[in-house]
Amino acid sequence: MPPQTAAPTIDPVRLLAQAYEKKTWHGPNLRQSLRGVSARAAAWRPARSRHNIWELALHAAYWKYAARRHLLGEPRGSFDRKGSNWFEAPKKPTDAAWRETIALLADEHRKFIAAVADSRNASAVQKQMGMVLGVAFHDVYHAGQIRLLRRMHDADASR
């Protein structure tokens, strides 16, 4: 009979950091995927009714916010933008507005990591580990979409 082995320990803070900002084996994470994107490229839409990079960044920020509030048992209602889930890019995108969106995403990531890392929340994190890890998976998923949108934008711009 093979010896019993312990289940691997999951470090959600490390996984969240890799999905958003730390070096990873799989290629660009969410922050790396957004690096160097101009406001114009972020607002570019591949087709009518399709999301753009700007909207993906806001969407990711919103779900970090929503997951943190849920983890802490706090009500929703104070996100930086009106609405939920998907938010439209500004009609007239500016570099300043794009920088604000990137800062909002970074701030929501920082707050979520802090909530997960806080030992006072250890029980809630364990109970809601699927949601916590889901935020990391969400970041990686949208990082891939952003990389594809960047390539599509560059191909469209070179025509």
What per-residue confidence (pLDDT) applies to 80?
A: 87
Q: How many Å apart are CA 131 and CA 126, to the nearest integer?
A: 10
CA angle at 141 for the pair 129 and 120, rounded to the nearest 5°: 25
What per-residue confidence (pLDDT) applies to 1?
A: 67
What is the helix (H) or strand (E) element at residue 118, kind and residue range?
none
The label of the residue with tokens 């007239």 reads: 92
The tens-digit pLDDT sequence of the chain (159 residues) is 677 777 778 899 999 999 999 988 888 999 999 999 999 999 999 999 999 999 999 999 999 999 999 999 998 778 888 888 999 889 899 999 999 999 999 999 999 999 999 999 999 999 999 999 999 999 999 999 999 999 999 988 777
Radius of gyration of the chain from its Cα atoms, rounded to whole angstroms? 17
Q: pTM of the entire structure?
A: 0.92
For residue 85, CA distances in Å to 57, 69, 132, 152 come to 11, 14, 17, 24
Q: How many Å apart are CA 33 and CA 31, to the nearest integer?
A: 5
What per-residue confidence (pLDDT) applies to 84?
A: 86
Q: How many Å apart are CA 92 and CA 25, to the nearest integer?
A: 37
Q: How many Å apart are CA 62 and CA 92, to the nearest integer?
A: 21
Q: How many Å apart are CA 127 and CA 144, to the nearest integer?
A: 29
